[in-house]
Structure 1
């Protein structure tokens, strides 16, 4: 019996060490694992299509349909970055021109092919599509790493959330995050030539001669 009692006491330190190791590993479970310099929290762009079906005729859109379309544009609060397209099975240019005239009041143009949308068009109808994109960063903020230990020297899971979330919120056209803007070589040449011409045409700083620093300097102390 004394031997059995001594054996139990001897096992207590080993059990305590095992529990301590388990608790230590559990605390390491929240340590960062991203050892690169890049954030895994990146902006995501989502696009939603809004549609309105209108009755069309050979001359385009009637007054009543134009009023419906203009009211819909106001309700949708058209903004920079929205893309407007016309789904017209007949391809009547008068319809596109009527829509373009109304869209121009909001500073937008109608171009491109309409995306595929659910639902079939009735005969004599056209579909106006507004494609609107939004950008956000999923999973932010992320404070999942609650451990102060960082044996892997990894980045915080929240790294990049502030910068990328602000970028997604401030970008005027979220589609620019996907493909950017393509400028023409003519525009770049005109811009560079304008700066060069301004520099060349500027009047030299020494063209006006030198200032007479001694003029009126002798009478300053007498007054």
Structure 2
């Protein structure tokens, strides 16, 4: 009986060793997989063209800014609201441009006479708000005798912008099942960001440092000295 039990234990020993070996191999495989997840191949994942900032870049360049001022037939002058709109457009020119300021009047339209009078007023508003008289140019375009055409104001300025949104060149189903952003993704965000930039030149590079504000610096030092004095008294 003892010999039989000894034989059973002897035969079971290799089976236990085999089980341990399988367990060790499984643990090694799990460690290898975990290491691969923790350290991805950046050269591969970084090369995927899936960045909306690349598809919809913000570009700094020249753009024409325009506004149309409707003038009623028979009007003898601009309304107060129209004058304020013109003044607001002129203030934008003073900040963003130093080129020509164009006043484009319709010729041959039903409100031809009214736009001629309004054009003179617009010229006065422009010069009053800082546009040099030599920069103001009056032009014309062909109107329709049956319609009242607007006066167009225009100037060129440097602005930040992105390409137009709403483009769908690729199959949306194919891109999404590959877990990639669709082409139009992020376009509206880029457009809104470009529209909020006050000075597009800030995208080209940093500005030079300005001198320190001596008054503000003095106030900061006074607060620091006061806090230091209170701390010493508490000690």
Specify which structure has the bigger relative contact order, considering alpha-carbon pairs within 8 angstroms and separated by 6 or more residues. Answer: 1
With the length of structure 2 as denominator, give the TM-score of the two structures.
0.37
More helix by share: 2
Higher-Rg structure is 2
With the length of structure 1 as denominator, give the TM-score of the two structures.
0.39
